Amino acid sequence: SSKIRVLIITMGGNRQAVLKEMFASPSMINHFHVEFSPGIPSRELRSRAGLMTHGYKVGIIPEAEYKAFQTIGRHEKDQAKSFDCLKEVPVAKGRRGAETDVEQHYCVELWRKSKGINRDRSVLACTFAHLIAMRRCVDEKFDVILEDNVRSIKNLGGNGAGLNGDEDATETGSNSNFCECAKRIRDTIMASSNESGDQKCDLRYFGWLGSVKNLTWVIETHAKRTTNSNQS
């Protein structure tokens, strides 16, 4: 079968290096085609220029507003009067929000509201990075998006092709054509595909949230409590 096309969101550095090494291992390389989508440092959203640039990449800044903003000099973009360049640009219609919000240009509203998010700016940066990856995933027909905290088992007496724990690495021989995590992803793709229905699954995410034993404990302990509280 063809390789699974994987798009990984990462800030680069050591995490990306580890993932490159992981997917280049003999047990993985024959099953996965991997590309990376860059993360966004929160500090890049502190300036008007940075917020406008990344907002446009995400697709939330109207084309006309972004083009007008690009006509001013680099040093002018972070000055108080930088949005004067929008005077000749019509305000986009059909937006949701309070009357005081929708009467101004969207990039002005975005900038004013973003100034007060403080520590949540890292959340906004992460959201932007994921939206960019999601668009690319759909446009370029990737099979799955991975976060850069995903890891496989590394060569524990087998081909190191498990997903979450020692119990996954049951195969033997590093050159085996069998890869447990590839099998699991293909099973997920098959299970989530609904070609005959009206809706099709466009995006699939895999993230590392702990060992199988820990996740089982969370489900069996806290899910039962939630169910019991709902029934009482």
The first and second tokens of residue 209, run together, are: 């949230």
The pLDDT-based confidence of 210 (bands split at 50, 70, 90) is: low
The pLDDT-based confidence of 167 (bands split at 50, 70, 90) is: very low
The answer to whether the beta carbons of residues 219 and 160 sit under 8 Å apart is no
At 215 the pLDDT is 67
Cα torsion through 208, 214, 219, 221, rounded to 10: -150
The pLDDT-based confidence of 152 (bands split at 50, 70, 90) is: confident
- Lowest-confidence region among 38-47, 69-78, 121-130, 200-209: 200-209
Question: 33 - beta bridge partners?
Answer: 5
pLDDT at 196 over 80: no
At 89 the pLDDT is 95
Label residues 190-213 b or e (16+ Cβ within 10 Å = b). Answer: eeeeeeeeeeeeeebebeeeeeee
Nearest to 182 by CA among 200, 203, 159: 159
Q: Phi/psi of residue 5, each to 5°? A: -85, 115
Nearest to 55 by CA among 97, 103, 113, 107: 107
The answer to whether the beta carbons of residues 48 and 77 sit under 8 Å apart is yes
Tell me what the mean pLDDT of segment 159-164 comes to.
42
Whole-angstrom distance, CA of residue 159 vs CA of residue 212: 19
Across the chain, mean pLDDT equals 81
pTM of the model: 0.73
The pLDDT-based confidence of 198 (bands split at 50, 70, 90) is: low
Q: How far apart, in Å, are the Cα atoms of 160 and each of 155, 174, 175, 177, 214?
A: 4, 8, 10, 12, 21
